[in-house]
Amino acid sequence: MSQLRARTLSASEHGAFFELTAAAFLEEPHEDWRAAHREVFDPERAHGVFDGPELVGGGEHLSSRIALPGGADFPLAAVTSVGVRPGHRRRGVLTELMRAQLESLRGSDEPLAGLVSSEGGIYGRFGYGVSTRDGVLTVPRGAPFRSTVEVDPRPVRELDLARGEAFATELHRLLWTQRPGWLAHDANWRNRVRNQHAFQWGAGALRCATHPDGYVFYRPKPGWKPEGPEYGLRVVELVARTPAAYAALWRHLLDTDLVAQVTWPRAAVDEPLLAMLENPRSAELRVLDGLWLRPVDLDRVLAAQQYSAPCEVVLDVHDAFCPWNADRWLLRAGADGSAEVARTSSAPDLALDVSDLAAAYLGGTSLTTLAAAGRVVAHSPEALRAATRAFATERAPHCPRNF
C-alpha cells in the first residue's frame, strides 16, 4: 500500500520539481523556461508529495503582494506550479499538497493564498473562491470611440523590452494599489510576462508600447488569408494613469495595420473601453473566473481590507479544510472603513463557507448575489444588506496577470 508524504524541497531538487511540473502540464521542459523558473524557485516555498521515494506531485507559493480595497498592499502567497504526475492522479496527491501548503501558511506572514486555476472545478473544495473575474474582451480593428472620448494626443511609441519593462515597472509602482486585485511587479512578473509559453494562444513575441502616462504589453498573433492579413493582437497588460492615456493606448492597438481584432483575455469586467465605443455591440466580453483567493487566517484577512460602509455582522463560517477558521466571527467595520474581527458566541446573522467569503472579498461577488444563489444563508435580511454594502467596491476587482 503506497504512502503519500508531503514535505518542502531542497535546492538540489529544482530539476526534478521543474520536470514534474512540465510533465503535469503536458509541456516540454524548455531550457529557457527552466532557467527563468530557477531564478524564482525558493525550495522552502515549494512542496513535493512523495510516494515512497518518488516525487509524484508538487506546488509552490511565491512571495507576492496584492492590492486590497482601500489601497492596502497585502502579502499574498501566490500558489503556482501545482501538478501531479499523470498515472498518480485521483489518489489524493493534490489534497495532501494543499494540506501541507495551507498548514505551512497558518500563522505566517502570509495569511492569504491565491492562484489562477487551470480548470474551474478543482479548488473550491480547498476553500478557494473566485475573487476576481477575467473579462475575455475582443474588439474589432478600427472600432470608433464616441465623439466625446478624449484621446491624449501625445504619441504612443514602441519600445524595446528592456526599456519598456523599466518604464512599466516604474509607472505600475505608482498605480497598482489603486485597483483591488492587482499584484505588485514582483520577481516573477518579468518571468511570466516574457515566458508564458502555455498562455500565448499561438501568439508571437512580446511587444511593448508606451505613452508618457501608460503602457501596454501585447503579442501579435500572425494570420494571413488569400484575401489578406488577419492578425490578432493579444493584450498582456495595459496600464494608464489617465483616461485620455488609456484611450490613446487602445487607439494604438485598434488602429494597427494588418490586424483584424484585439483581444485582452484578462481584462477587467468593467473595462472603461466598453463605455467608450460608439457601437457598444462591437465589443464582445466573456466572463471567466480570474484570481481565486483562500483566506488561511480568516480574521487577519478580513481585517486587512477597508469596507465601504459601517456594519456589524456575525458570520457563521464553515471551513472543512482549515478547521481553525470554522467559527462564529464578529466583523465590525467602522465609518472610516477599518474593521475588527473577533470570535464570538453571539447568534449568527449570515452562515457561509470560507470560499464564499473569498468570493465576496475585494468586492467581487456581492453577498446578496451569493444568498440568491443559495450559498449564503441570511438569518437577518438587514445584516445581509449592511454586509453587502460594506463589502462593495467602486470598481470590479481585477487581476490582469497569471503567476
Ligand X SMILES: CC(C)(COP(=O)(O)OP(=O)(O)OC[C@H]1O[C@@H](n2cnc3c(N)ncnc32)[C@H](O)[C@@H]1OP(=O)(O)O)[C@@H](O)C(=O)NCCC(=O)NCCS
Minimum CB–partner distance for residue 96 and ligand X (Å)? 7
Check binding of 25 to ligand X (CB under 6 A).
yes
Is residue 17 annotated as a catalytic residue, yes or no? Answer: no
With respect to ligand X, which residue has the nearer C-beta, 122 or 260?
Answer: 122
Region 79-138 residues binding ligand X, contact defined as CB under 6 A: 82-84, 89-95, 115, 117-119, 121-122, 125
Residue 177 or 355 having the CB closest to ligand X: 355
Please, which residue, 4 or 309, has the CB nearer to ligand X? 4
| Helix/strand/coil (H/E/C) assignment for every residue in 32-89 | HHHHHHHHHCCHHHEEEEEECCEEEEEEEEEEEEEECCCCCEEEEEEEEEEEECCCCC
The residue annotated as part of the active site, out of 18, 50, 123, 246, is 123
Which of 20, 370 has the CB closer to ligand X?
A: 20
CB of residue 89 to ligand X, shortest distance in Å: 3
Residue 390 phi, psi dihedral angles, 5° rounding: -65, -40
Catalytic residue status for 215: no
CB of residue 3 to ligand X, shortest distance in Å:
15
Task: Give the H/E segment covering residue 16.
Answer: helix 14-24
Distance CA 326, CA 320 (A): 7
> Under the criterion CB under 6 A, does residue 2 sit at the interface with ligand X?
no
Enter the C-alpha cell of residue 388.
Answer: 453587502
CA distance 52 to 162: 45
| Placement of cell 481590507 in the chain | 305
Nearer to ligand X, 83 or 364 (CB): 83
Within positions 283 to 312, which residues make up the interface with ligand X, using CB under 6 A? none
The residues, any chain, with a CB within 8 Å of residue 170's CB and separated by 6 or more, are none
Sheet holding 133-140, edge to edge: 157-159, 207-211, 214-221, 231-240, 259-267, 133-140, 284-289
- Smallest distance, Å, CB 20 to ligand X? 9
The residues that are catalytic are: 123, 403
* Residue ranges binding ligand X (CB under 6 A): 24-25, 57, 82-84, 89-95, 115, 117-119, 121-122, 125
